[in-house]
Structures are given as structure tokens and as C-alpha cells.
Structure 1
């Protein structure tokens, strides 16, 4: 959508510069508030000219979220909270982040739009919840929720990193050992085999050729695997059909799919609880909640439910036909429809899945270290069979 720089005046004739998105000049003029008078406007090339995109580490984002959450609780506006946060924070990145956000706000951007212009700092979930918070007038509640979410995410990531340290070290040393064999041992073996070739010992030569062929095959397979992963990642981002297919496949993986469904349902139920609590109608809330979840297959199913609700179907009947949703979700919604309190059900669903996700995360963290250790052991065994044993076999033939 084109971006316009507008000069407007208020009721007392004071000029200021604001920015608006519009598909046409007519739409732009219609978007100007009644209390403002449009003096002039021009189309600018890109939103990137408004805020310089920078990288912000995760710890700084968590600190920023915690500070803004506490400042908003005290009754300050979002702009004042960000200004104070930038002035009192000892973290330089938090100060830079607050300066970037204030710059965007002063240019006339709504807060959620400024957040969207800093994708290196804020995730899509963060942006979506801020947008919903502004829509219902409860940004403070969103920051409290995001603070809890980010702390939980950091806790899980730290446990995952701790579980992967030992297996990763073993794997790194195994790969380095194989590289040493290829770069140091193999050239010396070539010299030895060449010497025996002069004496017409063809057995060692054939073994050496087989060894080299195995190395080439292994390296080709490894490179092909890396290229395939990179291509799949790029294709997922550019092709919505592939993205839907892979996300739907992830939800069907035993155990892992159940955890992913619970995680997406937690995000969905939180958004619904917040929207319906603010008086947003069920149909509109469903459409808005679909923008919050990360899994596109889950979001697509929510949009299909939204369409069926618009056509007059019951929410529980629309939910139960989709495999993307856990069965617990349709059961609770059905109970809410019978009691006439569907709105209150989403609070129960959120509380249930919040506990379920925490328990599942703990279970996964407990299981992941032995699983990764086992996988690394298998990889090391393959490397030994592929590289080390042929070396000893060749030495036995040439000595």
C-alpha cells in the first residue's frame, strides 16, 4: 500500500507532519481526521525511510517489555511510558529501541504500525497482539501477557541449550576428526598407496579408490541435504501452498503435533478472551484471532470456521470438523453454547492449555537430552564406519 507524507493543521492552525497509508488520493483525504485540515501531501517510496531497522537481542526485548508493562500499570500513556523507559534504562539497546519507537510515534504512526516496522525486534505474535490491544483499548494487558510469554520462552530455550551442549560438543569433535582425516591422513595414505602401486599391489589401490568414492558420496549427500533444507525454507516463505502443507504436516506428527496444537490453541484462546472481553462480536473476534497464531494451517482452519459462522453455523460444529484443532476445544465450546456463555469458555480454555503447554514443555526438555545424545551417537558411529575403519583396513593391506 502506498505511503503518504501529509502536512495538516489542527483547529488552532498549528501545522504538523503525519503519515498515512492509502490506495488512492481520495482514500487518503477520507482518512484524515475531521478535526484536522489537509494542507498538502506527497507519496514517499517506502516505510523503511521512517524508521531505520536495527537488530535488537532477545534480552533487550524482554527488558523493554517488562519495563513498559510496569509503567503502563501506573496509568501512563504508551508514549510517556516509552519515553520514560528510554531515559531510565541502563541497557543501551533498550534506549535505542525506545528512541526508534518514539520517532515513529511522533511521525504520526500508530503504535502497532511502529512495532511492525521493527521486525528484527518484534515477532509477528508481538505485533498482532499489540494491534489487537490497541483495537480494544487494552495495551497494558497485552504487555503483561507478552512479558509472561517471553519469560516462559526464554526459560524453555535455556533448558534446550543446556540439554544440547554435551551432544553438540561430541558432534563437533567428531566432525573435526573426520575433517582431519580428509585433510591430513588421506594425503599421506595416497603417498603410501602410490608407493605400493609401483610394486603392482592393486588391492590397496582398489581399496583406496573405494574409500575416496565413499567420502565423495558422503560429502555429496551432506551438501544435498543442506541445499534441500535451504530451498525448503525459502520456498516456505514464498509459496503459501508449501507453507500450508508443511505446517499441516507438523500438526500431524505424533507427540510433537499435539504439543504444537496446544501451543497454537493457547495463543488463539488468549486472543479470543481479550477480544470478546472488550466487546468485540464473535465473528469479528475469530477473524482477528486468526492473525495471532503462527501455524498457517491452524490459522487457515480458523478462517474457514469464521466463514461458516458467518453462514449461520454453530461454532462447535464448525470447529469439530477440523483436525487442526484439539478435541478438547470443540468440547468446551459446545458446553459454552449449551449454557449460553461461550464468551466465558475461552478463559477456561486458555487456563487449561497454559498449564498443558508448561507441562508438555517440561516433559520435552526432560526427554530431549537423551534423544539428542542417542542421535549424536548414531552420527558418530556412522562417521567411524565411513572414515576411521577404512583407514585401518588400508593400513592392514599395505603393511
Structure 2
């Protein structure tokens, strides 16, 4: 028997229009519609005779912003949860989101999902056709909601999970941004001084007729090297970044070793450890509470941990749980999880409230990440000044050392 082909979602465009209303007054504006003819018909019903209409073209900035981001999925999840709780039917909820969103990419995505569901396809199956935006964990949670008949409750859990996950990701990015900025500013300032400032001093020193201090000679030597081979230096730098990014994308071993390395970097390693712990607890709590078996929930938590060290540890826990070991005992054997976490998990297992205890663990570590990021920000503000002071001050001292010895040269 032939399977009915799902109708494709209609494309929604933005049109600029101008016309005359019933009072003869000129009016204009922008409106979204599937076609110019449909827009004209709609405006005619409102008493406006359109005299000029044109499809709005996207600028390069519009195109860059017209992509579906993880935070967009979190917002969509919250909108679906709210509408389902209010009693709005699923298909109508999806269609409303598709028509009202400002981003064309989201309108197309949700329009396609709505069309699939309208033909009788389960929502989880419709979402699986868009793995770039809805991962396996998301689809499994939706499927659990469909099977339990509590889709609105599950979407509320999904919305909370996505909102917390994106907030945590934003905090960790903020923590990593400051050290990167310190290094970048130091490199830029040093490069400017070496290429443009120090050569001016070198011309002055050439007339001294005396041997320059070793530190000054060293700095001038670096300056000459930069002036002669700056294209090689920068070329090698950007080539190294390109090769690393390529290796990181194509090699699992490189990604795993990078994950191990970043957890050893002072200052930020604490934030990364706490962030991985929060992701583990939040994912496991959400999936387990949704009725997904613990074995499958651990598999999802491993994928969401975001780091090879924790992913391996969680998969080891999963294997031990399959063999019949209690989860808190298996967690102790990994040597990755703090005693406080294993103790709380033990209490959760014994009381039968594992998902509730995991939620508390996630809340604790999310707060600790927030506090650690604020502390890092406060600490790095003076650190930036110190680093720049040492770099710039060192170069200035190197240039003024010959002037300090000028008296002996003249004498």
C-alpha cells in the first residue's frame, strides 16, 4: 500500500508594501505571507488597496542571524510547553510558532514539523527528521511524553533542561572568554610595539657608539625578526590553528586528548569540572524523571557531559549498573565524582527519589559554576592590567636601559 507523502511546509516571506486605505490615506508597512497575491487579498479584506509590493531581501547580517541556534530550540520548547498546558492542540501550537517567529529558518523548521504531525506522524518521529536541531535525547524525551500521555509535562521538563543547559554553556563560554582576551590583547600590544615602536628606538641607539645592554639587544633582535619574517610568524600561527581545528574535527583521539588537557588548565579547570558535573546531573534527572530506564538515561548523560573524561566515567558506571552494582558504588570506583555527589546519589537511591536528588545536585553545581565565573571575572580584570603592564613595561625598560647608561658612554 502506498504511503501518503507528507506535504511540504509552505514558505513564508516578508514583503514591503504601500497602498491606500478606505479614507484615501497612503499607508505602508511590512508583512509576512506565502505570496504577494495572498498578501494583497488579505490587505483588501482589511480595506487597503496595495499599489506597490516587493519581497524584502535579506542583508548579509540578516542571513548570519537567520540560523536556528540551541537557544532558539529552548525558546520553542518553552512555547510548546506553555501552549499545551493552556489546552492548545499540538498541531495548532506548532503552526502558531511557525507563523509567528521572526526567523525564516525557524518558520521553515517548525512548519515542516507541523505538516508532518498534521498527516498523523508522531511528533517524536517528525523531530527525528531534523537531527541537526533535535538530538536523540530530545526526541527520546518527547517519545516518552507521547507514550505516557503527558506531553505537556514532558515539554515543561525539556524546556527547563534546555534553558538550564544553555545558561550553563553561556557561563562556561564567559569563563573561557576572559583568559583568551588576556592572551589576545597581550599578543596584539606586543606585536604593535615590536613592529612599529622599537624600530624607532633602534635608529636612535645606532648613534650611541656603545654596546647596548643584553636585554635591549634581545628585544631588538626579536623586533628585527618580526619585521623580516612577520608573514612567516603569522602564517605559521594561523596554519597551526587551522591544522588543530581540522584534526579536532576529524580525529576522536585528538578530541579526547584535548578534553583531558583542558581539565588540567589552572583556574578554568574547576569551572569545567563543575560544569560537567551539572550537565551529568541535570540530564540524568530529566531523562530518569521522564520514565526512561536508568541504563538508557546514563547513556544520554554520558553524551551530554561534554568531556571525554566524564563521558568515559559515566559509561563505566553504566556498565557496572548493568552488571547489578548500585549507581553510587559504581560512581565511587571511577574516582571522578566528589564524595558529596556520591553521598547524595546514595540517599536518592535508598529513598526512591533519585531524580529529585539529581536535580538538587545539578542546582548546586550550576550555582557553583555561576559563582566561579563571577570570581574569575573579578580576578582577571586586574590580571589583564598586570599582564599588559609586564609586557609593555618590559619592552619600555628594554628601550630605556641604554639611555640610563648614556652618561658613561658620553664620559
TM-score normalized with structure 2 length: 0.63
* C-alpha distance in structure 2 between counterparts of 1:278 and 1:171, whole Å: 45
2:385 aligned with 1:392: no
Instruction: Return the match for 1:371 from 375, 379, 399.
Output: 379
- The equivalent of 1:9 in structure 2 is 2
- The equivalent of 2:364 in structure 1 is 355
Alpha-carbon distance change, 227 to 56 in structure 1, aligned in 2, over 3 angstroms: same
* C-alpha distance in structure 2 between counterparts of 1:236 and 1:245, whole Å: 10
- The equivalent of 1:136 in structure 2 is 144
Kept in 2, the 8 Å contact 1:319–1:325? The answer is yes
Q: Secondary structure at the match of 1:291?
A: helix
Kept in 1, the 8 Å contact 2:295–2:318? The answer is yes
- The equivalent of 2:309 in structure 1 is 297
How far residue 101 of structure 1 moved from its aligned partner, in angstroms, is 3.7
Equivalent residues in 2 for 1:293-332 (5 A)?
293-332=305-344
Give CA-to-partner distance per residue, 1:320-352, whole Å, 9 cap, x none.
10122232333233334545x2xx223112123
How far residue 133 of structure 1 moved from its aligned partner, in angstroms, is 1.4
Q: Secondary structure at the match of 2:304?
A: coil
- The equivalent of 1:102 in structure 2 is 111
Give CA-to-partner distance per residue, 1:272-319, whole Å, 9 cap, x none.
333333433332332233223222221222212222222233323222
Unaligned runs of at least 5 residues, structure 2: 9-64, 146-150
How far residue 232 of structure 1 moved from its aligned partner, in angstroms, is 4.9
Instruction: Return the match for 1:81 from 93, 97, 101.
Output: 93
Give CA-to-partner distance per residue, 1:196-227, whole Å, 9 cap, x none.
28xxx252598875332234679899987776
Kept in 2, the 8 Å contact 1:272–1:289? The answer is yes
Alpha-carbon distance change, 142 to 383 in structure 1, aligned in 2, over 3 angstroms: same
- The equivalent of 1:68 in structure 2 is 80
Instruction: Return the match for 1:279 from 280, 291, 296.
Output: 291
How far residue 153 of structure 1 moved from its aligned partner, in angstroms, is 4.2
Instruction: Return the match for 1:116 from 111, 131, 139.
Output: 131
* C-alpha distance in structure 1 between counterparts of 2:91 and 2:397, whole Å: 66
Unaligned runs of at least 5 residues, structure 1: 1-7, 19-52, 119-125
2:249 aligned with 1:241: no
Kept in 2, the 8 Å contact 1:164–1:372? The answer is yes
* C-alpha distance in structure 1 between counterparts of 2:190 and 2:297, whole Å: 56
TM-score normalized with structure 1 length: 0.65
Q: Secondary structure at the match of 2:211?
A: helix
Q: Secondary structure at the match of 1:110?
A: helix
Alpha-carbon distance change, 278 to 164 in structure 1, aligned in 2, over 3 angstroms: closer
How far residue 190 of structure 1 moved from its aligned partner, in angstroms, is 4.3
* C-alpha distance in structure 2 between counterparts of 1:317 and 1:63, whole Å: 38
- Report which stretch shifted further, 371-380 or 256-265: 256-265
* C-alpha distance in structure 2 between counterparts of 1:387 and 1:378, whole Å: 14
Alpha-carbon distance change, 206 to 316 in structure 1, aligned in 2, over 3 angstroms: closer
* C-alpha distance in structure 1 between counterparts of 2:183 and 2:293, whole Å: 55
Equivalent residues in 2 for 1:167-178 (5 A)?
172=185, 178=190
Q: Secondary structure at the match of 1:69?
A: helix
- The equivalent of 1:5 in structure 2 is none
RMSD: 4.4
In the comparison of the two structures, how many residue pairs are matched? 334
* C-alpha distance in structure 2 between counterparts of 1:216 and 1:354, whole Å: 55
Kept in 2, the 8 Å contact 1:128–1:291? The answer is no
Alpha-carbon distance change, 368 to 221 in structure 1, aligned in 2, over 3 angstroms: farther
Q: Secondary structure at the match of 2:335?
A: coil
Give CA-to-partner distance per residue, 1:175-201, whole Å, 9 cap, x none.
66545533443443344445x28xxx2
Instruction: Return the match for 2:275 from 223, 244, 263.
Output: 263
* C-alpha distance in structure 2 between counterparts of 1:233 and 1:314, whole Å: 40
Kept in 2, the 8 Å contact 1:263–1:353? The answer is no
Give CA-to-partner distance per residue, 1:237-262, whole Å, 9 cap, x none.
43323433443455566775555444
Instruction: Return the match for 1:188 from 200, 205, 214.
Output: 200
